[in-house]
Amino acid sequence: GAVVSQHPSRVICKSGTSVKIECRSLDFQATTMFWYRQFPKQSLMLMATSNEGSKATYEQGVEKDKFLINHASLTLSTLTVTSAHPEDSSFYICSAVSPGLAGNEQFFGPGTRLTVL
């Protein structure tokens, strides 16, 4: 149980295009989902927290107009990187948590590798 999936696992795009990443909780309802990015040999940096049906809460320094987050249902959150540039190339990981599920642990998706040319 407690499986989180991400799609796509890898994407390469041209500079200026937008990329959408999906995060799904497969066997539980996630009231809260988190989006992280991770640079090589660095730890996870929280970008934003999203709750189903409400606006995402962004961390300081994260541009909300560039990284659009939609948490449309209890099993799906999407991150759209708008007008992507090479500096947006990174490993994006989502996680999901459900109150009462396994002590409120966060369960992580497998990540999405974004490369912007």
Q: Is 25 one of the binding residues for other proteins (CB under 8 A)? A: no
114 contributes a contact to other proteins by CB under 8 A:
no
Site string for other proteins, 47-76 (x = CB under 8 A): --x-x-----x-------------------
41-47 contact pairs (CB < 8 A, 24+) = 44/93, 47/79
Point out which span in 12-20, 60-68, 75-83, 93-101 binds other proteins (CB under 8 A).
93-101
Answer yes or no: are the C-beta atoms of 26 and 5 closer than 8 Å. Answer: yes
Binding site for other proteins (CB under 8 A): 2, 4, 6, 32, 34, 41-44, 46, 49, 51, 57, 91, 93, 95, 97, 102-111, 113
